[in-house]
Amino acid sequence: MPRVRPHPHRRARAVTLPPELHQVNLNAAGVDIGAEHHYVAVPPGRDPDGRDVRTFGAFTADLVALADWLTRCGIATVAMESTGVYWIPLFELLTERGFEVKLVDPRQLKHVPGRKTDVLDCQWIQ
C-alpha cells in the first residue's frame, strides 16, 4: 500500500521520539528525501519559529530555502536517506554551502520499530 503524503502546504507535525534515543551530533539535521517533498528535522529549539520538522519541495528554490533554514538553525551536519537519485541535487547544494553531508543506508530504517511516516523517518535520521 503506498504512503499517503500530506498536502505540500500543510505543516509537518513533529512526533515525540522514545527517550532511549540519544543524539550523537547535536548540530545535525535529518532529511527524508522524496521525489516531490523532503522532510527535514532539526534538534528541538533550533528553529526560531518553534518548528523542529519542516517539509520542503524538490525544486531548486525549495532546496535553497531548505539550506537557508538549516543555516539559520545552526546546523553543521546533515544526514539524509533516499532510495532513488533525488538526493543528488540537495547533496551538491549542501556540500557547496559547507555542510558535512552523510548519505545513510535506507535499509537500516526498515528495522526501526513502529509505524513509518516521513516525519518519523527524518527524526530518526536526525
Q: How far apart are CA 53 and CA 56, in angstroms?
A: 10
Cβ atoms of 99 and 77 closer than 8 Å: yes
pTM for this structure? Answer: 0.74
Pairwise pLDDT comparison (12 vs 91), residue with the higher score = 91
- Give me 79's grid cell: 544526514
Among the four given CATH numbers 3.30.420, 1.10.10, 2.40.50, 3.90.550, the one describing domain 28-125: 3.30.420
Give the pLDDT score at 126. 67
What would the pLDDT profile of 113-125 be if each residue is shown by its tens digit? 555 676 777 677 7
Q: How far apart are CA 73 and CA 75, in angstroms?
A: 6
Q: Which helix (H) or strand (E) holds 122?
A: helix 118-125
Give the pLDDT score at 106. 67
* Average pLDDT rounded to a whole number, residues 92-117: 78
Phi first, then psi: what are they for 39, rounded to 5°?
Answer: -100, 130
Cβ atoms of 46 and 73 closer than 8 Å: yes
